[in-house]
Amino acid sequence: MNPCNWRAQREKRAFLALEDGSIFRGYSIGADQDAPGEVVFNTGMTGYQEILSDPSYAGQFVTFTHPEIGNTGLNEEDWESERLRANGLLIREATTASNWRAQGELVERLRREGIPGLAGVNTRALTVLLREKGTLKGFLSVTGSLSETEAVEKARSWSGLDNQDYASRVTCPRAYAWDPADSKTCTWGFAEQLPPTDRRVVVLDFGVKWSILRHLRLCGFSVTVVPARTSADEILAYHPDGVVLSNGPADPAALVFAVKTIRSLLGHVPLFGICLGHQLLGLAMKGRTRRLKFGHHAVNHPVMDLATRRIEITSQNHNFIVDPDSLGPDVEITHINLNDQTVEGLRVRTAPAFAVQYHPEAGPGPHDAHPIFQQFRALCESR
């Protein structure tokens, strides 16, 4: 970004068009490329690199409620995948990096990877609109080739994320071993050094975050990541001590193939689901999922463990939840969200399987949720 590009900032010719006809103007800071996306807001004050590189944000425009984004730059330690994953970025003000860990600029990376971004946006008004009306489809027009009316129509005609299999778009193309040289797994002060690997886990990749893989390695697991459409027989051929159902983007109900795989794995190997993996485990147990009005995209959601009454402050990123009224007697609800009482954790009574809706691998400041990886380790050892 050129901080002296006053003309672009003053004229605000680039804009976001929403399906309800609303227009939010700003100036382009990313790639010179128009794009559709589902508009969501994230209330986190930090962690924009992790958020934008999280595959769960595929198909979405991320609106940051924090007014300044870019001041910590980008670095090689904080990536959650190999590249930026969001369809676009919406912010109030873009700042240049001023941090001892910075190794690159956010706006330069947006341009390099072909992702549009809009600064100068009234993000407060946009967030209020999304809270009132719910998540909306949008279209980012930064090239100047479309009128507002044309952009609104493109937003309305876009397929959106409902009933869409985005997991197959972001999954790995082939199976791989995570970090065999131990070069990508930072201890972040959790251990003097990485423990030896004495258990084997397979991660079913629906859009997995690297922090999940790091935490599994920190628990002494040897981690193999496999594509989303890997069959149960292929997974069991690795002879794993456990299987992780990863996070991922879009609508869980569209992943019929994954639900079939999970049902075939139940009872044969311990299962641990996170976010989308939680929803898929619920579907595999014949439950239903439904869309939230504007989703959970934040780093400060209080979640209660119903067994211990302990409250964890958690990081969350999802638009869909498991409907508690759809669950049968074979499923126990283990955690609830104290903001809206939605389901945040499940345990299968008839098989070694459990899942959480929040992100226990994230470190938004509190590390309250990290011990659940050790619970999974204990479950694998007990089998």
> Mean of the per-residue pLDDT values for the chain?
95
What pLDDT score does 383 carry?
81
What pLDDT score does 10 carry?
82
Alpha helical stretches, state H, the chain: 6-11, 48-52, 106-112, 123-133, 148-157, 167-170, 210-218, 232-236, 256-265, 276-284, 372-382
Instruction: Check whether 330 has a pLDDT greater than 60.
Output: yes
Instruction: Check whether 202 has a pLDDT greater than 50.
Output: yes
Scanning the structure block, which residue is given the tokens 């227009």? Answer: 23
CATH H-level, domain 167-382: superfamily: Class I glutamine amidotransferase (GATase) domain (3.40.50.880)
* pLDDT band, residue 11 (cuts 50/70/90): confident
CA angle 17, 29, 122 (to 5 degrees): 50
What pLDDT score does 12 carry?
85
Label the pairing between strands 353-356 and 271-274. Answer: parallel
C-alpha distances in Å from residue 288, one per residue of 65, 89, 123, 231, 278: 31, 31, 33, 22, 12
Residue 60 carries which DSSP code? E
The domains spanning 6-157 and 167-382 adopt the same CATH topology:
no
What pLDDT score does 92 carry?
97
Active site residues: 275, 359, 361
- Phi, psi at residue 296, to the nearest 5°? -115, 110
Span of 109-118, 186-195, 311-320, 339-348 with lowest mean pLDDT:
186-195
What pLDDT score does 285 carry?
98
Long-range Cβ pairs for the range 107-110 (8 Å, 24+):
107/1, 107/29, 107/30, 107/70, 109/74, 109/84, 110/29, 110/30, 110/31, 110/84
Instruction: Check whether 322 has a pLDDT greater than 90.
Output: yes
The whole model's pTM is what? Answer: 0.96
Instruction: Check whether 1 has a pLDDT greater than 80.
Output: no
Rounded-to-integer distance, Cα 6 and Cα 354, Å: 53
Strand partners, 224: 177, 202
Rounded-to-integer distance, Cα 303 and Cα 299, Å: 12
Alpha helical stretches, state H, 176-319: 210-218, 232-236, 256-265, 276-284
- The residue-averaged pLDDT of 31-43 equals 97
Instruction: Check whether 189 has a pLDDT greater than 80.
Output: no
> How many beta carbons lie within 10 A of that of residue 239, not counting itself?
9
Domain at 6-157: CATH code: 3.50.30.20
Is residue 92 within 8 A of residue 117, CB to CB? The reply is: no
- The residue-averaged pLDDT of 109-116 equals 97
| Tokens found for residue 149 | 């009316």
Rounded-to-integer distance, Cα 23 and Cα 13, Å: 11
CB burial of 128-162 (b: ≥16 within 10 Å; e: otherwise) equals ebbeeeebbbbbbbbeeebeeeebbebbbebebbe
Instruction: Check whether 232 has a pLDDT greater than 50.
Output: yes
- Domain boundaries along the sequence of the chain: 6-157, 167-382
CB burial of 212-232 (b: ≥16 within 10 Å; e: otherwise) equals bbbbbbbbebbbbbbbbbbeb
Rounded-to-integer distance, Cα 67 and Cα 190, Å: 32
